[in-house]
Structure 1
Amino acid sequence: MNDDANAYHLTDHPLRRQIHDEVHARPFEILRAPMRVSHLAMLSGRHGADADRQHVAALCERFGVAPPASGANHLSEDFGPFRLKWERRTEFSTYTFFVHGAFDHPFENPAIDQVPLDWLERLPGKRLVAIHLGLESADMPARSVADTVALFNRNTVVGSVVSDGAARAWTDFRIHDDGYSRMLVRDIRLRERQAGRVVQRLLDIETYRMMALLAFPVAGQVSPELTALEERLASMTQRLTDIRALEDEQGLLADLSSLAAKVERIGNATHYRFNAARAYYALVERRMAELREQRIPGMQTIKGFLERRLEPAMRTCESVARRQESLARRVARTGDLLRTRVDVALEAQNRDLLDSMNRRARLQMRLQETVEGLSVVAISYYGVSLVGYLLGAGRAAGLDVSVDLLRGAAVPLVVAMVWLGVRWVKRRVVRRSEA
């Protein structure tokens, strides 16, 4: 190719590299049996990413390993005695430790024993998931069903053939005396990357299962409160059909606003948890499908076990979430109906008030016109009297005038002038008030 073809310059979108490389983010580990794995999921909250990253960086500094970059949410490095895979999720971090080497018992001397204890004790957040997993090689002696069950303290064990027969996996989904759950994987013909995928999927199933079930206690706590609020709303709706006075409607509206605030408070407190449960449960289902399980005779599969127990819990959470959303909608509809009734009643009151004000205004106008007429008469009377005084003074001064005749003739003129003057003053006042 001619080098001149790449001589031109195109400006990349600032997010091009980031979104392009997303498909390569968080790759599966390359694992080779035999191997012991310890896995922790620490719930540090949605704002705990920086603290988690700094804690991982402290471990890297202790072992001379390059720390995660600023803003990174993933690290996979060899620390010598162990390998660490750290992943930061939305509200929790997972720490998976790998130690390669032969073992007699898959859950004795676990991988996490190689990690500094003081660093583990200061892990940010609360421990939600803790798992010891043993990955056996194909050349290790096969165990009988009884021996396998004995590894899990004779609890009920579930398991299956996974990855189209490339491995077998067992677990009892119980927390043992050391605080860890147990999983056992036997390599039959796993490739190294395939082994990493199988181990990661099994760990993800337990991690996301626990994260999804965080919503179940919340649903149990919220359900009785929702029942009480639903009964209260039903009572308010019945009151709405019976009340007649506006004061009662306004009181009911205040009660309904208080109810709406309580429903909104519950919604704000549980919205994230229920939505997160849906997402985590979807991931559990996806990881189980990716295992491609086949039944081991006489043993329940991992998917069958989880569907029987996890699915009802998730349905309960979904039911409570739907009840909550339905209650919020019903409260809103009832509030709209009640506000409409109050608005109509207020409009009727306002209409009656305006009619009353119009009647008073018309009465006041009539009284004003009457007063104006009386004012014209009174002012004209005084004006004619002044004319009479003026004519009397002229006659006393020697003028030959008929005082009574001229005073009588002045009456229409004085009345007309007074009336015009009053009208002029009234128009001027009106114009100033309208300006």
Structure 2
Amino acid sequence: MDHELRVRLAGEAHTRPTVPISPPAMVLHEARFHDDGGEASRAFAETLAVAQGLGPLNPDVDHLLLETADGSWKWERHGEFSTWTFVRSGHFDPSAALQAPQFLTDAPGHRFVAAAVFVTADVPNDEELDRVFGRENAENERVGSMLSGRRAGVWTNFRVGADGWTRFLFALPDMNQFRAGRAMRRLLEIEVYRMAALFALPMAKKAQREINTLERLVGSAIANADKPESEILDALIDAAREAERIAQHTAFRFGAAAAYRRIVDQRLREFREERIEGLQRISAFLDRRFAPAMDTCTSTQTRLETLAKRVERAASLMRTRVDLAMATQNQLQLKSMNENAKAQLRLQRAVEGFSVAAIAYYAFSLASALVAPLSRTFGSAGEAVLKALLVLIIVPAVWAVLKRLREKL
């Protein structure tokens, strides 16, 4: 018996199909962040599908490819964003302001990528490149690479134009439509994941400023060792709490940026770039402009982890100092209590001695009153002897009774 997930899992290898690309054509590609897990994006894609005569989409559908009279369009839902791709055949003026299809304009989410790729059959000359990207200068650096054994080429300046689109020129002198579609997919993924990864940079810069403040605070707390240990420990605990807050706030974005960077690096390797004379390769440009931003995020995360460990070590030392101080104080208190107990014991013994004397005196007085009538019989000498005997009996008896009572207590 087959497992119930066999067919579904086997089909995962064939999901998100690639759109074949044949020149001349124009590809418009947008990526939009979503806040609801992509449900609004899926609902919008379902509306477009129903308008084309298709039925409602399954709730777990993450992609859709449709052919319309105007061209092909594709929707894909990813972890934190959705992408929309529109492919239209024909010649287009790359220098003209682009007018996106209405469905791209109405798509939900916050757009962070808008790429316009113009597909041609021939490798462009400098004049054609100027028409697409403007005249090259220090403010408008152009990059490009030949791909897959020089069967295709890509040119761009990675700049957002006045109309909001980043332009690419994709030449296919010797590549079939299916390989061209896969190469196009890699190109668009490089742009999308590059931009998605860069969203960690502002967060990293802000975190660095906060880390600088915390490092100064921790350094000051450690340097001022003459302050009370409890005050230093409170400062370190506050620093640890703030470091943990920063770590929780940045963990997802830094983790996502690292994953996106790996995808960009992998797609660049799959390009199998070759140099175009006079131009910087796309990978070289990204190594110079994109990689440092990602290294900043990585170093910020490392600094944050190091700071947390440093605070923990310092707090541990302070706790040890506090524990030693408390132990010393406890020893002094125990010594004082011991001395007080000894003094109380001496006082108690003295009081007990007085108590024996007082009780014995009263007992003797009572006994003397009892033997007073015997003085007529034995005389005064006999009375004195009797009283002496009473003292010898009463004092030990009182002492023995009090001792027994004390032992019971």
Indicate the TM-score class for this superposition, using the shorter chain for normalisation: 0.7 to 0.9
Contact 1:68/1:75 (<8 A) preserved: no
Alignment partner, residue 171 of structure 2: 186
SS at match of 2:31: strand
Alignment partner, residue 6 of structure 1: none
Alignment partner, residue 144 of structure 1: 125
1:115-154 matched pairs, under 5 angstroms:
115-116=102-103, 120-121=105-106, 123-136=107-120, 138=121, 143-154=124-135
1:275-290 matched pairs, under 5 angstroms:
275-290=255-270
Change (3 A) 1:82 1:422: farther
Residue 370 in structure 1 maps to residue 370 in structure 2 = no
Contact 1:40/1:131 (<8 A) preserved: yes
Residue 79 (structure 1) shift: 5.0
Instruction: Name whichever of 312-321 and 343-352 sits farther off.
Output: 312-321
CA-to-aligned-CA distance 1:292-325 (integer Å, 9 cap, x gap): 1112222222112211211222222222222222
In 1, Cα distance between equivalents of 2:99 and 2:172: 18
SS at match of 1:364: helix
Correspondence for 1:416 among 380, 391, 396 = 396
Residue 269 in structure 1 maps to residue 254 in structure 2 = no
Residue 102 in structure 1 maps to residue 90 in structure 2 = yes
Residue 50 in structure 1 maps to residue 77 in structure 2 = no
1:161-180 matched pairs, under 5 angstroms:
161-180=146-165
Instruction: Name whichever of 199-208 and 224-233 sits farther off.
Output: 224-233
1:183-332 matched pairs, under 5 angstroms:
183-240=168-225, 243=226, 248-332=228-312
Residue 376 (structure 1) shift: 2.0
Change (3 A) 1:377 1:222: same
1:393-432 matched pairs, under 5 angstroms:
404-429=384-409
SS at match of 1:172: strand
Instruction: Name whichever of 358-367 and 149-158 sits farther off.
Output: 149-158
Correspondence for 1:35 among 17, 25, 48 = 25
Contact 2:34/2:80 (<8 A) preserved: yes
SS at match of 1:173: strand
Contact 2:24/2:90 (<8 A) preserved: yes
Residue 20 (structure 1) shift: 5.2
SS at match of 2:144: strand
Change (3 A) 1:390 1:18: farther
Instruction: Name whichever of 419-428 and 282-291 sits farther off.
Output: 419-428
Residue 22 (structure 1) shift: 4.2
Contact 2:62/2:78 (<8 A) preserved: yes
In 2, Cα distance between equivalents of 1:164 and 1:377: 119
SS at match of 1:190: coil
Q: Unmatched 5+ residue regions in structure 2?
A: none
In 2, Cα distance between equivalents of 1:233 and 1:104: 60
Contact 1:158/1:170 (<8 A) preserved: yes
Correspondence for 1:339 among 299, 316, 319 = 319
In 2, Cα distance between equivalents of 1:66 and 1:135: 33
In 1, Cα distance between equivalents of 2:299 and 2:197: 15
Contact 1:97/1:111 (<8 A) preserved: no
Alignment partner, residue 160 of structure 1: 145
The count of aligned residue pairs is 403
Q: Where does structure 1 differ by over 4 angstroms across 4 or more consecutive aligned residues?
A: 14-22, 106-111, 398-404
Contact 2:95/2:131 (<8 A) preserved: no
Alignment partner, residue 69 of structure 1: 58
Correspondence for 2:49 among 34, 55, 60 = 60
Residue 18 (structure 1) shift: 6.0
Instruction: Name whichever of 49-58 and 101-110 sits farther off.
Output: 101-110
User: Which amino acid in the other structure matches residue 60 of structure 1?
Assistant: A
Instruction: Name whichever of 296-305 and 149-158 sits farther off.
Output: 149-158
Contact 2:32/2:82 (<8 A) preserved: yes
Contact 1:391/1:403 (<8 A) preserved: yes
What percent identity do the matched residue pairs reach? 36
User: Which amino acid in the other structure matches residue 280 of structure 1?
Assistant: Y
Alignment partner, residue 84 of structure 1: 73
Change (3 A) 1:409 1:269: same
**Structure 2 length-normalised TM:** 0.87
Residue 379 (structure 1) shift: 1.7
Residue 182 (structure 1) shift: 1.2
**Structure 1 length-normalised TM:** 0.82
In 2, Cα distance between equivalents of 1:390 and 1:64: 128
Change (3 A) 1:317 1:381: same
Change (3 A) 1:85 1:420: farther
Residue 289 (structure 1) shift: 0.7
